[in-house]
Amino acid sequence: MTQEQDGAIGDALTLLEAVVRSRLAAGDAGTSYVASLAAKGRGKIAQKLGEEATETVIAALTEDDAALTGEAADLVFHLTVLLAERGIGWDAVAAELARRHGISGHAEKAARAQ
Ligand SMILES: N=c1c2ncn([C@@H]3O[C@H](COP(=O)(O)OP(=O)(O)OP(=O)(O)O)[C@@H](O)[C@H]3O)c2ncn1[C@@H]1O[C@H](COP(=O)(O)O)[C@@H](O)[C@H]1O
């Protein structure tokens, strides 16, 4: 992945988060899917995220790259809504990923077991 593509991903998530936060703040369920989902409660947002995760798994196993890419976008969108509703930004997730960078999953699991 180029640095330019890396920046594009960050930009896309930052923009999506900003739009989602503004929709949550406005709370206009009539014009906004985000607001209508949030009005149904955190449980419904979590349920949608679970459904999108399942659809992503099915697409990975049975569908073409375009379908999987679409399901991945649905999944990331709904995760963004859930995080924003909890007041957590992608910057926090990015910081956690940066903290883990270079630490092997095997080494981390072994350290946990001690
Ligand atoms: N990225 C998305 C996005 N991805 C998916 N979706 C919607 O997510 C919904 C869930 O998909 P489903 O097929 O499960 O829908 P459904 O069957 O209607 O859902 P349920 O009846 O089961 O609740 C669909 O209505 C999609 O249109 C999205 N809706 C919004 N966004 C982004 O969020 C922004 C704000 O959207 P609004 O809040 O609608 O203004 C938009 O400008 C986009 O950038």
DSSP string, 44-95: HHHHHHHHHHHHHHHHHHHS-HHHHHHHHHHHHHHHHHHHHHTT--HHHHHH
Ligand 1 contact via 74 beta carbon (within 6 Å): yes
Q: Give this complex's ipTM.
A: 0.92
Percent of the chain with pLDDT over 90: 84
pTM equals 0.92
Ligand 1 contact via 29 beta carbon (within 6 Å): no
Ligand 1 contact via 83 beta carbon (within 6 Å): no
Ligand 1 contact via 80 beta carbon (within 6 Å): no
pLDDT band at 22 (very low <50, low <70, confident <90, very high): very high
> Tokens 């709370």 label which residue?
27
Question: How many whole angstroms from 33 Cα to the centroid of ligand 1?
Answer: 6
Domains belonging to the chain, first-starting first, are: 3-113 (1.10.287.1080)
Q: What is the pLDDT of residue 16?
A: 98
How far is it, in rounded angstroms, from Cα 57 to Cα 81?
20
Q: Are 54 and 75 in contact (CB under 8 A)?
A: no
